[in-house]
A = this chain, B = another copy of it.
């Protein structure tokens, strides 16, 4: 998203650094309570130079939101489109979601807390993306009900339970801790899948199939992100 024409090669790099540092500040103190001067301080830039890179304070917020939502949506779309059974896709989606949260914890904090400071189109776009995300989750849950994996639940309420459990994680999780995305995802899904299970259904093999799926992929490792970064 380069701004005015005619910027040197270092421009975009420095710009991304500034956004990084701003996200950390906003996460710690809140967007509204953080002054642009503080952003300049941590970026080592005078106010004027700062604006050369960021355009406006709200624009900084937009960029942070984008960094959260763009890769998240990309991952989730990819997973939803896989030819696997719904419960496995939910397990994958859970892990991707947590990976994204953990990877950019301060961005997510800002994303969850300060979107009310967006105005006009920026705000509308954000809300649209949120709904898009929720719809995908809901469709997978309904698919799992339809194939008998889950009992018949109110789809909306089931979706909200799924999201409550995952999204609230940013409030307390520590990236330096013992828990990583995979561990949390296993725990959450263990609870949710048993809790949602249809009569006689169990999902003892879901972790095996998860491993199998990942092993079959050319590049073993964490679930790849599709995002641009």
- Residues of A at the B interface (CB closer than 8 Å) are 6, 28-33, 46, 113-114, 116-117, 153-154, 157, 160-161, 163-169, 171-172, 179, 184, 187-188, 190-197
Contacts and interface: CB of A to CB of B under 8 A. Distances in A.
Nearest to A30: B116
What copy number does this chain have within its complex? 4
A117 B165 contact: no
Contacts of A116: 28-30, 33
Given A29-B116, A30-B114, 6 more contacts: A154-B187, A157-B184, A160-B172, A164-B164, A164-B167, A194-B194
Given A168-B168, A195-B192, A187 B33 contact: no
Find the residue from A166, A169, A172 having the highest chain B CB count within 10 A. A172
A46 B6 CA distance: 9
Contacts of A161: 165, 187-188, 191
Nearest to A197: B194
Contacts of A191: 161, 191-192, 195-196
Nearest to A34: B32
Find the residue from A6, A165, A179 having the highest chain B CB count within 10 A. A165
21 contacts: A28-B116, A29-B116, A30-B32, A30-B114, A32-B33, A33-B116, A113-B113, A153-B187, A154-B187, A160-B172, A161-B187, A164-B164, A164-B165, A164-B166, A164-B167, A167-B168, A190-B195, A191-B192, A191-B195, A194-B197, A195-B195
A171 to B, nearest CB: 8
B168 A164 contact: yes
B163 A168 contact: yes
